[in-house]
Amino acid sequence: MAAPVSSVDKTPAECSALNVTSFQKKTRSKSISIPGTRPSVQNGQLLVSSGVTSLDYLLGGGLAVGTVLLIEEDRYDSFSRMIFKYFLAEGVVCRHELFVAATQDDPDDILQELPAPILDDVAIHRPGDQPRMSCEPQDTLDAMKIAWRYQNLPKVQSALASSSRFGHYYDVSKIMEPEIRQAAKWHRFYHPEHPPLSSGTHSPKLESYSALLKSLREVIRREGFDLNAPLPKSRNILRVGLHSLGSALWGDDLCCHDNPKNVHALTSFLYGLRALLRSSLAVAVVTVPSHLIQDRALMGSITRLCDNAIALESFKGSERETNPLYKDYHGLLHVRQVPRLNCLASQLPDHKDLAFKLKRKQFTIERLHLPPDLSETVSRVGKGESAAAACASSSAKHLDF
Amino acid sequence: MFTELNSILNASPESLTPGEFILLSDRQSDASFLIHHFLSFYLKARCKVCFVALVQSFSHYNAVSQRLGISLTQAKEKGQLTFLEGLKESLSVLIPQEENAENQAMSFLRDPAAGLRSLYEFIQSSVVESNGSGEQWGPPVLLMDDVSVLLSLGVHVGAVLDFSHYCRATVCSQLQGNVVMLVRRDGEAEEDDEGSEQLMRGLTHQSCLTLHVQGLPTGYCRDIHGQVELCWKKRQSDGQHTPKKVFQFKVHDKGLSFFARGTSSAVL
């Protein structure tokens, strides 16, 4: 779709006025541009990175703004806590605001343990700087005569390169430097600091969850993340991290009893959280110790109330640790649910048997497969390739007569 | 709406069967595409639709319906569609504030044990509304997405069954309209808790057409998204009695395709 030859002599201003070709690059897109986000390829949804690039790929490009990611914790809460910290660290690097709620550890301690990002050019944000918008008006640009096709492209950003990248890598052996961490704006909710109020309402909701929901709503309203209110000029995303909901430390007895009294406390809270997030520029990651919840149907309703849901199953302490099949990996990852947002089809992962491995500089999620079997029966199809996939795309080399 | 599904159901926007209670259910799958189908189907059939959307926001349904050729905002402005956005209304109930005037429909969240009377009254007022001025719409239709979230929020099974019975009596029998409800379940058949099992049985008994969506019994496949089982309770108008049909389907961006079991293009 090249432009006709005659238009090359004209100035670019005349070019666009005459509209010689139908191929015109958009000068300014209508969608809002917030650092650290990108629109989804499938349905134009605004996505943020979860901090783990392979998890982003699994969830269809990233976490959609306005949704909840549920992580079912592994037994010792080691890897789910790691993903939780990756999520918060990504927020610090992208300069999003954070909201951290926990009961077991003080949120200050969680923030001090964030992994260090692997980047040379992470700009250390000084408080006095104004945040630069990534789409600035192009009126000061000189008219290009030769490279006129690049006229309408945005200027290349040399500084703040980290905030326009999507997804970073972190070094788990190092702690994030205090300067980077302190530049981030964050809010905390530490459950022991909020004593239960004496209220007369008989509701199925727990005091702790109601206080958390109220505090979150206040932060959203005060800091300008609410989509119903007029938004401030420079928009940002709020990353909400809720650690170990449903555990006994929140006052919930879901994990302690077979027939808990407050069966619907957590589900009502998740419904309220969903309602809050759908109307604000925020993303939430919730971890739940699902291995303590005996009622599978309750776990099912908790999963349905969240949008994305993954479950981690680590090999630590189980007999699988010594199984040669799993020797390269730290655990299995199950994708329980992927949302359908604003479209009919959802981006389901290709394969369901996934394993993860925490390396020093990367948290990888890979398809689980057997190493090649070097025996006489070479034509056997490997375990990882499911029958349906083989039917869909069977390559000739697997047929061995 | 999906034309293939219309031909399977022998339904078209021009000729509706009045007084039907259609139950959509799924197990470990997502049957919400059927809700989008019925929403656009009844809007095209010029019925007065009352949509109780408890789990997703209005913009989600609007975006999908636009791909199917219907504009929900226009239907709302013309008065054809009454949309209850459960998520938005619930916030004012869950986090009580003095200055907010809340919609009474979601007030069951404050005390779920009391039942769904306020929600029923909201539905009744929206379907019985007389439209003296404005266009004349067809028979009223009630769509609910979805009923199982009411159980998660603490409402008793008996209250939900009473509520559905009241809706059926008002909409189907009195006003000769249709009711479509979605029930979602998770897990294997043995793991169901008594509440959702009771709900499913009660609603199946009340319904005249059930569409049950589940994953493939042989396992996960990327190209075939699941299978749909259709059960008719009463004899069809032309005398044929086909109580059950099973199809497999694949959901595309703008529609879906049905095929008989085992005849997907991915397999053949």
Closest approach of chain B CAs to the CA of A82, in angstroms? 28
Residue A121 and residue A132: Cα distance in Å, rounded?
A: 16
Candidates B33, B57, B196; nearest CB to A297: B196
Mean pLDDT for the stretch of residues A2-20: 44
| pLDDT score at A384 | 47
Q: Which range (A241-250, A280-289, A338-347, B34-43) has the least confidence?
A: A338-347
Model confidence band, residue A154 (pLDDT cutoffs 50, 70, 90)? low
Burial of B268 (0-12, 13-18, 19+ CB in 10 A): exposed
Mean pLDDT for the stretch of residues A233-254: 89
| pLDDT score at A257 | 82
Model confidence band, residue B235 (pLDDT cutoffs 50, 70, 90)? low
Structure tokens, A11: 């100035």
Mean pLDDT for the stretch of residues A290-297: 86
DSSP SS3 for A50: coil
| pLDDT score at B17 | 84
By C-alpha distance, the chain B residue nearest A336 is B28
| pLDDT score at B264 | 75
Q: The dihedral of CA A310, A315, A318, A320: what is its sign?
A: positive
Mean pLDDT for the stretch of residues B75-92: 89
ipTM of the complex in this document: 0.92
Whole-Å CA distances, A310 to A255, A298, A304, B224, B250:
19, 16, 12, 22, 24
| pLDDT score at A137 | 43
Q: Which range (B8-17, B119-128, B228-237) has the least confidence?
A: B228-237
Q: How far is CA B9 from the centre of its chain?
A: 16
Closest approach of chain A CAs to the CA of B136, in angstroms? 31
Closest approach of chain A CAs to the CA of B265, in angstroms? 9
Candidates A267, A303, A343; nearest CB to B186: A303
Residues of A in contact with B187 (CB under 8 A): 296-297, 300
Q: Please report the residues numbered 84 through 113 in chain B whose beta carbons come closer than 8 angstroms to any beta carbon of chain A.
A: 87-88, 90-91, 94-95, 109-113
| pLDDT score at A386 | 42
Mean pLDDT for the stretch of residues A23-31: 50
Whole-Å CA distances, A1 to A5, A26, A209, B202:
12, 16, 58, 61
Mean pLDDT for the stretch of residues A23-47: 70
By C-alpha distance, the chain B residue nearest A268 is B153
Pick among A304, A335, A350, A354 to test the B interface (most B CBs inside 10 A): A304
User: Tens digits of per-residue pLDDT, A64-117?
Assistant: 999 999 999 999 999 999 999 999 999 999 889 999 999 998 999 999 999 998
B47–A contact, CB cutoff 8 A: no
**Domains in chain A: boundaries:** 37-116+158-367
| Most confident residue range from A27-31, A290-294, B135-139 | A290-294
User: For B16-186+193-220, which CATH superfamily applies?
Assistant: P-loop containing nucleotide triphosphate hydrolases (3.40.50.300)
Domain A37-116+158-367, CATH class in plain words: alpha beta
Model confidence band, residue B192 (pLDDT cutoffs 50, 70, 90)? low
Contact B153 A392 (CB under 8 A): no
Mean pLDDT for the stretch of residues A270-286: 94
| pLDDT score at A135 | 40
Angle A265-278/A207-222 helices, nearest 10 degrees?
Answer: 10
Q: Which range (A71-85, A187-201, B56-70) has the least confidence?
A: A187-201
Mean pLDDT for the stretch of residues B144-162: 91
Closest approach of chain A CAs to the CA of B170, in angstroms? 29
pLDDT higher than threshold 60 for residue A9: no
Mean pLDDT, rounded, of chain B: 85
